[in-house]
A = this chain, B = another copy of it.
């Protein structure tokens, strides 16, 4: 495996030059004092060092060793404990946490870039703090001040960690079916009983306590999703003075044997009259979960992006070193027995597919993070409303599209290695196994697509979508210049296509409820490539401006323009077939009866 190097130059390009983050932060009082360009840059520099030095070296050994389960105790692979301590001491768990309870209060635009580094370096490791971040977010938004004060400082400090206990063996996508029960006690607490599966970081040896957020049903709760409440169930109880008390009735029954992310403990968690505390309102547990969902979903999407970047670095190194055959236009190193495979068009095609979608993905993750930051920090009501709409619309897109493209990118990187990519030694096959989970967990990509097209588009008659389309049109109109024509003309066409297909589904779905599900995955991909076209137009504009102004980094900006052109010519055309498939409608899916399958 190539040694991971965080793509700092490209991250800075996106953050500072394309989205002018520091100007944005300065405009929002709640961020102005917390972060500026210099702070952000220092954090990215430190993050790059940490991920390269502490996390990447444990990636393959962690996969080979895996997490261990022994009679309820879970041990992480060698080195994880020390690395987690370094990570926690650096304050990284609380990077975007609430400063009131010891978090650093950093914007998502910055933490999203750090998350990309984390996933590039070590998927399994990253899941431990990521789950804690998610749990903290839910507590910060819905728990009482007392609970926040008791739990958040230790969680932000990485002394305690968190888990999210949703799934049961018969109930995944359809959480309304869960069986776990919570019985109210006289002192206002609850006793939680049930078994949860697929609990990432449900048990491990990295922290002295684990704070489980558990979905359960109260006695006589309404059936289905409206009868679910959220409970905080600590592994070890916390005394009034904040010190650790006795163990709670929570145990880890086993860990799963999985295709990948083997150093991440995926636990079966048994709650046996465990002491728990209600978080948020009774029967509104799912709402409490959804508060943090957009943040979390973007992070899991970024797993796909981080893996894409690592795939690129790994495959590029190999494509430059490996010699085989000759360039079609004549030997490029005639003194040697063969040319580097980078000379072959099909190898370039795969590398450029990865490069282009990773750069567009990085821009898009920062763009979506910007919406999340505006929604959270802006004091301007209109700006906040628009950002709320855009982040609601675009997070399921980012989660599913980054990870679908992420798998394709890891597979393409593996193909560049030929037979060597199938061998564990190259590190590339682990990337394929690790990235695959990101299309499945945190809501499968099929569910993300239904969320994007059903809840976020059809349900509001395309209101959120129109907000996005308006922004893109504004950009096209104000950049309708000769030099930008090669980018904005196809962008404008792609947007027109996306608008037509969006309203085609909205109209069709009014009388045909199956049309949403029949269209959703292909629709999401049409949207994804169109959004990437917008990102490349934004980046091309920035690059052109820098070149016009004069720069010592001409090659970087010219490379960006070439990559943009590659995207428009060889990736954006994918939307045409996808659109045609959407428009073919739901009927072909239901012509076969169930027993004809």
Contacts and interface: CB of A to CB of B under 8 A. Distances in A.
Interface of A: 167, 170-174, 177, 197-198, 256-260, 316, 320, 323-325, 328-329, 337-338, 340, 342, 344-349, 351-352, 355, 407, 411, 414-415, 418-419, 421-425, 429, 432-433, 436-437, 439-441, 444-446, 449-450, 513-514, 516-518, 520-521, 555, 558-559, 562-563, 565-566, 569-570, 573-578, 580-581, 584, 586, 588-597
13 contacts: A172-B418, A172-B419, A320-B594, A342-B594, A346-B450, A348-B589, A348-B590, A349-B589, A352-B592, A415-B445, A419-B441, A562-B592, A566-B588
Contact of A514 (B329, B411, B440): B329
B345 A586 contact: yes
Nearest to A563: B592
A418 B436 contact: no
A570 B558 contact: no
A324 B172 contact: yes
Given A355-B597, A446-B415, A517 B345 contact: yes
B562 A596 contact: yes
A437 to B, nearest CB: 5
Given A256-B423, A257-B424, A349-B589, A584 B570 contact: yes
Contacts of A444: 415, 418
A579 to B, nearest CB: 9
Copies of this chain, complex-wide, total 2
Given A418-B440, A444-B418, A517 B344 contact: yes
A308 B541 CA distance: 45
Contacts of A351: 597
Contact of A440 (B324, B340, B422, B558): B422
Contact of A328 (B258, B352, B422, B516): B516
A325 B562 contact: no
Contacts of A415: 439-440, 444-446
A411 B422 CA distance: 17
A419 B570 contact: no
Contacts of A172: 324, 418-419
A91 to B, nearest CB: 32
Ranked nearest first, the 5 interchain pairs of A and B with the lowest CB-CB distance are: A345-B517, A259-B429, A559-B596, A577-B577, A328-B513
Contacts of A597: 316, 320, 342, 351, 355
A574 B581 CA distance: 8
Contacts of A432: 259, 436
A134 to B, nearest CB: 17
A565 B588 contact: yes
Given A424-B259, A513-B328, A346 B521 contact: yes
A574 B437 CA distance: 26
Nearest to A589: B348
Among A198, A445, A575, A588, find the residue whose CB has the most chain B CB atoms closer than 10 A: A588
Contacts of A436: 411, 414, 422, 429, 432
A240 to B, nearest CB: 39
Contacts of A329: 513-514
Contact of A576 (B320, B576, B591): B576
